[in-house]
């Protein structure tokens, strides 16, 4: 009898947790990520990313907020073009990297590529495992962008994109970069995306972006 009661209680709690997840909002207002003076509010961006984490049951610890890196790439349109990431490992000696990246609903990770660093490090080769949500992973190959009307390249990504081969990636899908040095970008579905990225190594100074203003902002020029 006790086992039956315990089972029933657990079932109720499971339903309650499921309902709470479904009712959590993933709707964001771009103005909420900027101060009255127009400065990007990183803490507000982190709040939004943690909401995304909670929605999908991603483990949030007492270290998570401090580990989060967030950027709007200087666009002033974080809900359209931006990124959040936690880099868990980036070993420049044994050449392995692991990070999770977080995209809000319909948010674009801008087009970029990776040059060879000015060192003995190799150019970055990487791939992405979709954990939650949906991400359109875009790179070199036959242009099929028109087949995905949900993808709307934001106007603030001035100059558009140079690669347009789309792979629609769902949880459990792994999409590798087509080749070293190739351009790539991503666009999240309407419930955002949580993505695990694996690579040989990452070097910020070797990242190049398609949009000159985004490139300058990222490199601190």
pLDDT tens digits for range 105-115: 999 999 999 99
Please indicate, yes or no, if residue 203 is contained in any of the structural domains.
yes
- pLDDT over 80 (residue 3): no
Please indicate, yes or no, if residue 100 is contained in any of the structural domains.
yes
Are 186 and 175 contacting, i.e. CB atoms less than 8 angstroms apart? no
Read off the pLDDT of residues 179-209 as tens digits, 9 standing for 90 and up: 999 999 999 999 999 999 999 999 999 999 9
Q: How many CB atoms lie within 10 A of CB 96?
A: 13
Return the pLDDT at 216: 97
Return the pLDDT at 18: 41
Read off the pLDDT of residues 126-170 as tens digits, 9 standing for 90 and up: 999 999 999 999 999 999 999 999 999 999 999 989 999 999 999
**Distance separating alpha carbons of residues 53 and 119, to the nearest angstrom:** 36
Please indicate, yes or no, if residue 21 is contained in any of the structural domains.
no
Mean pLDDT within 201-218: 97
Torsion from C-alpha of 199, 201, 205, 207, nearest 10 degrees: -20
- pLDDT over 70 (residue 9): no
Please indicate, yes or no, if residue 126 is contained in any of the structural domains.
yes
Please indicate, yes or no, if residue 177 is contained in any of the structural domains.
yes
Q: What is the pTM of this model?
A: 0.89
Please indicate, yes or no, if residue 181 is contained in any of the structural domains.
yes
- pLDDT over 80 (residue 32): yes
Look at strands 96-103 and 207-209 and give their pairing.
unpaired
Tally of structural domains, the chain: 1
pLDDT confidence bin for 23, thresholds 50/70/90: low
Mean pLDDT within 168-174: 98
Look at strands 69-71 and 165-169 and give their pairing.
unpaired
**Phi and psi for 65 in degrees, rounded to 5?**
-60, -45
Please indicate, yes or no, if residue 20 is contained in any of the structural domains.
no
Return the pLDDT at 25: 85
Read off the pLDDT of residues 46-80 as tens digits, 9 standing for 90 and up: 999 999 999 999 999 999 999 999 999 999 999 99
Return the pLDDT at 178: 97
CATH number of the domain enclosing 90: 2.60.120.10
Q: Note down the domain range covering 45.
A: 26-219
Please indicate, yes or no, if residue 79 is contained in any of the structural domains.
yes
């Amino acid at each position: 009898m006790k086992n039956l009661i315990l089972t029933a209680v657990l079932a109720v709690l499971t339903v309650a947790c499921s309902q709470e997840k479904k009712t959590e909002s993933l709707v964001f207002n771009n103005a909420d990520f900027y101060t009255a003076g127009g400065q990007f509010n990183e803490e507000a961006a982190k709040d939004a990313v943690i909401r995304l984490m909670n929605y999908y049951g991603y483990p949030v610890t007492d270290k998570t907020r401090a580990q989060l890196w967030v950027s709007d790439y200087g666009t002033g349109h974080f809900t359209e073009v931006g990124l959040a990431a936690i880099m868990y490992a980036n070993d420049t000696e044994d050449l392995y990297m692991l990070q999770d990246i977080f995209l809000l609903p319909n948010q674009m990770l801008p087009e970029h590529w990776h040059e060879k660093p000015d060192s003995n490090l190799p150019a970055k080769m990487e791939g992405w495992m979709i954990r939650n949500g949906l991400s359109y992973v875009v790179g070199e190959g036959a242009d099929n962008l028109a087949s995905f009307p949900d993808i709307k390249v934001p106007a603030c990504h001035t100059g558009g994109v140079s690669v347009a081969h789309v792979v629609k990636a769902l949880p459990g899908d792994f999409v590798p970069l087509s080749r070293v040095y190739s351009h790539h970008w991503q666009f999240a579905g309407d419930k955002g995306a949580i993505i695990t990225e694996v690579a040989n190594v990452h070097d910020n100074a070797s990242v190049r972006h398609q949009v000159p203003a985004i490139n300058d902002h990222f490199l601190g020029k």
